[in-house]
Amino acid sequence: MEPITTTEALAAVCERMAAHPFVTVDTEFLRESTYYPLLCVAQMASPDEAVVVDTLAEGIDLAPFYALMANQNVLKVFHAARQDIEIVWHQASLIPAPIFDTQVAAMVLGYGDAISYDQLVQRITGDNLDKSHRFTDWSRRPLTPAQMFYAVSDVTHLRDAYLALSADLARRGRTNWVDEEMEILTSPSTYRSDPETAWERLKSRVRKPKELAVLIEVAAWREREAQSRDVPRGRVLKDDVIGEIALQGPTTPERLAGLRSLPKGFERSRWGQDILEAIKAGLARDPKTLPPIERHRPMANGSATVELLKVLLRMTAERHGVAAKVIATVDDLEHIAADDEADVRALKGWRRELFGEKALALKHGQLSLAVERGRVIAVERS
CA distance 229 to 223: 10
Q: Residue 295's pLDDT is what?
A: 62
Residue 11: pLDDT band (50, 70, 90) is very high
**Is the pLDDT score of 276 beyond 90?**
yes
**Is the pLDDT score of 224 beyond 80?**
yes
Residue 231: pLDDT band (50, 70, 90) is very high
pLDDT in tens, 63-88: 999 999 999 999 999 999 999 999 99
Cα–Cα distances in angstroms (integers) from residue 225 to residues 86, 195, 355, in the given order: 20, 10, 44
Give the SS3 label for residue 166. Answer: helix
122-127 long-range contacts, CB within 8 A, separation 24+: 124/160, 124/161, 124/164, 124/165, 125/157, 125/160, 125/161, 127/157
Q: Residue 131's pLDDT is what?
A: 76
Pairing state of beta strands 22-30 and 75-78?
Answer: parallel
Residue 382: pLDDT band (50, 70, 90) is low
Residue 135: pLDDT band (50, 70, 90) is confident
Query: Pick from 9, 32, 83: which is nearest to 231 by CA?
Result: 32
CA distance 100 to 88: 16
Q: What is the pTM of this model?
A: 0.87
Over range 174-197, report the average pLDDT: 91
Alpha helices in the chain (DSSP H): 7-17, 63-70, 82-92, 102-108, 117-125, 145-171, 175-185, 209-229, 233-236, 239-248, 253-257, 270-283, 302-320, 324-327, 330-338, 349-351, 357-363
Percentage with pLDDT > 90 across the chain: 82
Q: Residue 299's pLDDT is what?
A: 55
**Is the pLDDT score of 156 beyond 70?**
yes
Over range 367-374, report the average pLDDT: 84
Residue 371: pLDDT band (50, 70, 90) is confident
Query: Pick from 21, 323, 301, 10: which is nearest to 177 by CA?
Result: 323
CA distance 43 to 146: 14
DSSP type of residue 97: -
For residue 13, the tally of other CB atoms under 10 A from its CB is: 20
**Is the pLDDT score of 10 beyond 90?**
yes
- The answer for residues whose C-beta is within 8 angstroms of residue 140's C-beta and 6 or more apart is none
Over range 123-131, report the average pLDDT: 88
Q: Residue 303's pLDDT is what?
A: 86
For residue 314, the tally of other CB atoms under 10 A from its CB is: 13
Q: Which amino acid makes up residue 335?
A: H
**Is the pLDDT score of 328 beyond 80?**
yes
* Average pLDDT, rounded, for the chain: 93
CA distance 277 to 87: 33
- Please name each of the domains of the chain with its CATH number: 7-190 (3.30.420.10), 195-284 (1.10.150.80), 301-380 (1.10.150)
Residues, the chain: 382
Percentage with pLDDT > 70 across the chain: 97
HSE, CB side, 13 Å, CA atoms: give it for residue 223: 17
Over range 345-358, report the average pLDDT: 95
Residue 123: pLDDT band (50, 70, 90) is very high
CA distance 363 to 369: 11
CA distance 202 to 220: 12
**Is the pLDDT score of 98 beyond 60?**
yes
374-381 long-range contacts, CB within 8 A, separation 24+: 376/311, 376/314, 376/315, 377/315, 378/312, 378/315
Most confident of 43-47, 114-118, 134-138, 303-307: 43-47
**Is the pLDDT score of 219 beyond 60?**
yes
pLDDT in tens, 173-185: 999 999 888 998 9
Pairing state of beta strands 75-78 and 99-101?
Answer: parallel
Query: Pick from 5, 45, 36: which is nearest to 142 by CA?
Result: 5
